[in-house]
Amino acid sequence: MVITRFAPSPTGNLHIGGARTALFNFLYSKNQKGKFLLRIEDTDKDRSKKEFESQIISSLKWLGINYDDKEIYQSENISKHIEVAQELLRKKHAYKCYCLPEELEQERNQAVAKGLNYIYSGKCRNLKEEKNIPFVIRLKIEKNKNIILHDGVQGNVEINTNTIEDFIILRSDNSPTYNLSASVDDKIMNISHVIRGDDHKINAIKQIILFQFMGWKIPKYFHIPLIHSLEGKKLSKRDNASTTDDCKKIGILPVALRNYLLRLGWSYKDKEIFNKQESIKFFNLKNIGKSPSKLDFERIKSLNEYYIKNLDQKELFNYFIIFVNEFKKKIEEKYLKIIFQNLNILKNKAKTLEDIYNNSSFIFEYNQTLILKSNLINEKNKVYLNDFLEEISKIEVYSEKKIMEISEEVLKKNNIKFKEFGAPLRMILTGSSKAPSIKEIVEILGINETITRLKRYI
């Protein structure tokens, strides 16, 4: 049975790269009718925070990446990690290292002076006597041996063990290190496929050695190329839209971000748009590219615009309400009804939910101060604005045809261009220079509210 896992450390918000890794693990497990598990690697007590854990879990759910069973916490397995370290010690696959920090620092400085990469000398490898001082436990790497990582994405990666130091598996305070904990947890969870970023390739080699020493079945490894910025640098949290929250806050839809992440380093024929069922059906590990992908935020917004245009109105509105409740001031129910009724107009040219919010703000947030400061309204244009008010006051029910006729009459009577009339009128009705067309504004506000707003300034 295929069992995959996503194993984030709760030391920060879910990164875009992490979200893609989780998605690939989820899709492959579901494609193979297997299980996808979430393991929270929370053993770094100083940096791990509950707020980050909550953000990671909520982001996965927001993206529709649903894991099986309950969350697994690495900290709950520490006694098992220590037990395995002690077993490796008994089997002579590990040893106690008594070297002091200053001794190791001296070794490191000597290597640097010679222009060499520092590798622990192994001076404690063959000690016979026990010492009554603090120690760490190091894995005893067999020398002059080639280890092959059979990587499903990168191909075979061969490394000579002489380049791998006897790495620490248990610190002097009896706390396990990453490679020991990750290996033991993968064994406990029966992980069959490890799909993660290719910055873990050297860790995979170390974990394979550990699996071999313990006589465990080695998982299959798939290391995905990292995501880079448009400048070609490794993506960092300082980059634009580097976390799921960065996208969420400006109103990127989860379905759009998920589709974008799916296509970031993976392809299926020429298909660009995938619903959830299609992504599970077509996803495979063979089509993962070997080169780094570049995070293109404009492409994310372009996909988002596609979904805004094509989603069912009720589904889009539900996303909008969630976005507003989480990131904006609450909108009264009466205004939400108006927004829903006119969503097809308000979503026009919108690339994000933030755009829809801004497009509709004139409905629930009438900025009179901005109108007065705009300098768009003067004694000259008040004349033809008053003509528009007089004519529109004669009708009771909105009619696009009638609004167009009234506008044309005002332009003709005053011998002006539309901009001279439309700009101040739009400012009065919306408090903004950017808004839908005049006929759409009147349709959304209704005749009575349009008249009320005009009378305030004329």
Q: How do residues 262-303 score in pLDDT, each as one tens digit?
A: 999 999 999 999 999 999 999 999 999 999 999 999 999 999
Asked if 377 and 424 touch (Cβ cutoff 8 Å), the reply is yes
Q: How do residues 13-34 score in pLDDT, each as one tens digit?
A: 999 999 999 999 999 999 999 9
The residue among 232 and 432 whose pLDDT is bigger is 432
SS3 89: helix
| Arithmetic mean of pLDDT, 226-251 | 80
| Arithmetic mean of pLDDT, 204-217 | 97
Q: For 77-224, CATH number?
A: 3.40.50.620
Angle between helices 313-327 and 333-341 (to 10 degrees): 140
Residue 241: is its pLDDT beyond 70? no
What is the DSSP-derived secondary structure letter of residue 162? G
SS3 65: coil
* In the chain, ranges of CATH 3.40.50.620 domains: 77-224
Q: For position 135, what pLDDT does the model report?
A: 97
Per residue, the 3-state secondary structure of the chain, as one string, reads CCEEEECCCCCCCCEHHHHHHHHHHHHHHHHCCCEEEEEECCCCCCCCCHHHHHHHHHHHHHCCCCCCCCCEEHHHHHHHHHHHHHHHHHCCCEEEECCCHHHHHHHHHHHHHCCCCCCCCCCCCCCCCCCCCCCEEEECCCCCCEEEEEECCCEEEEEEHHHCCCCEEECCCCCECHHHHHHHHHHHCCCCEEEEEHHHHHHHHHHHHHHHHHCCCCCEEEEECCEECCCCCECCCCCCCCEHHHHHHCCCCHHHHHHHHHCCCECCCCCCCCCHHHHHHHCCCCCECCCCEECCHHHHHHHHHHHHHHCCHHHHHHHHHHHHHHHCCCCCHHHHHHHHHCHHHHCCCCCCHHHHHHHHHHHHCCCHHHHHHCCCCCHHHHHHHHHHHHHHCCCCCCCHHHHHHHHHHHHHHHCCCHHHHHHHHHHHHHCCCCCCCHHHHHHHHCHHHHHHHHHCCC
Q: Give the pLDDT band (50/70/90) at residue 95.
A: very high
Mean pLDDT of the chain: 93
Q: Give the pLDDT band (50/70/90) at residue 242.
A: confident
pTM: 0.91
Q: Which CATH number fits domain 368-455: 3.20.20.105, 2.60.40.680, 1.10.10.350, 3.30.379.10?
A: 1.10.10.350
Q: How do residues 121-144 score in pLDDT, each as one tens digit?
A: 999 999 988 999 999 999 999 999
* In the chain, ranges of CATH 1.10.10.350 domains: 368-455
How far, rounded to the nearest angstrom, does the alpha carbon of residue 186 sit from its chain's CA centroid?
A: 25
